[in-house]
C-alpha cells in the first residue's frame, strides 16, 4: 500500500482527528511564506529589516508607519482562496472525523473553506482593534486606509489582532489546543517545519495512536511519526479523502 493509501486507512479508523498546520498550508493558495529565502531577501532589500523584526511588537510601537506599509503589502492577501488542503479539512470536519484545526496562519482560509472549529494560535488579520478604547475594526477599513490607521472614536492607534514577535500566545487558545491534542487518536501535522516555538511544542501533548507528518521538507519530529509524507499537503489530503 502506498503512503496516501495508508493515510486513507488511518483516517477511516480514526474518530478523533486533530490537524495542526503552518505556513505551508497557505503557500498553496499563493500566500508567500515571509520566512522563506525570497521573503527574507525582499524585506531586507526594500526595508532594511528582516520580516521577524518588522512583525515584532517592539517594531510596531517604534515604527508604526513602516510596519503598516509592510503589513499591507506582504501580510494581507484578501484575494487568496482556500486550496485543496483547506477544503479537505473542512470535509473531514463535516463527516465528523476532524474535531479541530489548530493553525499558525492568520489568513482566515480555513474558515473560508467551511471549517468551524479553528484555533488560531497567532490571531487573525480579519480582526483589528483600537489600542486605547478597544473598538473593533474590520480588515477592509485598515486595508483601505493610508499610513497609520486611527480610531474614529478616540484617535488611538488601531492594531491587528495578531500575535506579534515578542508577545505571548493567548492562554485560552493554547489551553484549548492542548485539550484537543491530548484527546485526539490521530494528529495530522502539515505545512510546518515544527521549529517555531511555543506553537511547535504543542505536539508533545499528543498521546494518541497515529502521528502523521505531511510536509515538503523533513522536520525534527519525523522519527517519532507513524507516517511521513514529503509532498504537497493539498494533493495528499485531496487524494486521501477521495473515497470517504
- Tens digits of per-residue pLDDT, 52-86? 999 999 999 999 999 999 999 999 999 999 999 99
Closest CA to 140 of 79, 86, 82: 79
Residue intervals in the chain for CATH 3.30.1600.10: 125-162
The predicted structure's pLDDT at residue 1: 62
Domain limits, CATH 3.40.50.1220, in the chain: 3-31+82-122+168-240
| Mean predicted confidence (pLDDT) in 9-34 | 93
Q: β-pairing, 123-130 with 158-162?
A: antiparallel
**What cell numbers appear for 126 in the block?**
480579519
128 is catalytic: no
The region of weakest confidence among 6-10, 43-47, 82-86, 186-190 is: 43-47
pLDDT tens per residue across span 95-114: 999 999 999 999 999 999 99
Pairing verdict, β 227-229 and 210-214? parallel
pLDDT at residue 40, rounded to an integer? 72
Q: What is the CATH number of domain 125-162?
A: 3.30.1600.10
- Nearest Cα residue to 230 out of 243, 241, 214: 214
The answer to whether 170 touches 164, Cβ cutoff 8 Å, is no
> What is the value of pTM for the model shown?
0.94
CATH class, 3-31+82-122+168-240 region: alpha beta
Would you tell me how many other CB atoms lie within 10 Å of the CB of residue 32? Answer: 15
Comparing C-alpha atoms, which of 151, 196, 198 is closest to residue 174? 198
Question: What would the pLDDT profile of 212-235 be if each residue is shown by its tens digit?
Answer: 999 998 888 899 999 999 999 999
Which of the residues 63, 77, 110, 122 is marked catalytic?
A: 122
DSSP H or E run through 24: helix 23-27
Amino acid at each position: 500500500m502506498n503512503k496516501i493509501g495508508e493515510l486513507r486507512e488511518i483516517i477511516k479508523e480514526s474518530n478523533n482527528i486533530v490537524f495542526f498546520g503552518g505556513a505551508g498550508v497557505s503557500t498553496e493558495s499563493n500566500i508567500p511564506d515571509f520566512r522563506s529565502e525570497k521573503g527574507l531577501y525582499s524585506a531586507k532589500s526594500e526595508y532594511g529589516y528582516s520580516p521577524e523584526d518588522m512583525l515584532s511588537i517592539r517594531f510596531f510601537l517604534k515604527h508604526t508607519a513602516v510596519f503598516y506599509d509592510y503589513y499591507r503589502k506582504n501580510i494581507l492577501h484578501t484575494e487568496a482562496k482556500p486550496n485543496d488542503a483547506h477544503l479537505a479539512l473542512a470535509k473531514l470536519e463535516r463527516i465528523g472525523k476532524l474535531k479541530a484545526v489548530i493553525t499558525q496562519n492568520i489568513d482566515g482560509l480555513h474558515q473560508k473553506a467551511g471549517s468551524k472549529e479553528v484555533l488560531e494560535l497567532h490571531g487573525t488579520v480579519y480582526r483589528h482593534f483600537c489600542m486605547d478604547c478597544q473598538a473593533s475594526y474590520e480588515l477592509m477599513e485598515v486595508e483601505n486606509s493610508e499610513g497609520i490607521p486611527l480610531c474614529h472614536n478616540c484617535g488611538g492607534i488601531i492594531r491587528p489582532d495578531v500575535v506579534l514577535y515578542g508577545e505571548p500566545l493567548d492562554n485560552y487558545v493554547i489551553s484549548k489546543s492542548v485539550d484537543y491534542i491530548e484527546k485526539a487518536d490521530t494528529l495530522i501535522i502539515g505545512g510546518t517545519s515544527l521549529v517555531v516555538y511555543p506553537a511547535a511544542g504543542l505536539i508533545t501533548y499528543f498521546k494518541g495512536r497515529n502521528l502523521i507528518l505531511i510536509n515538503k521538507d523533513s522536520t525534527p519530529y519525523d522519527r517519532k511519526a507513524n507516517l511521513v509524507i514529503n509532498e504537497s499537503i493539498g494533493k495528499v489530503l485531496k487524494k486521501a479523502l477521495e473515497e470517504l
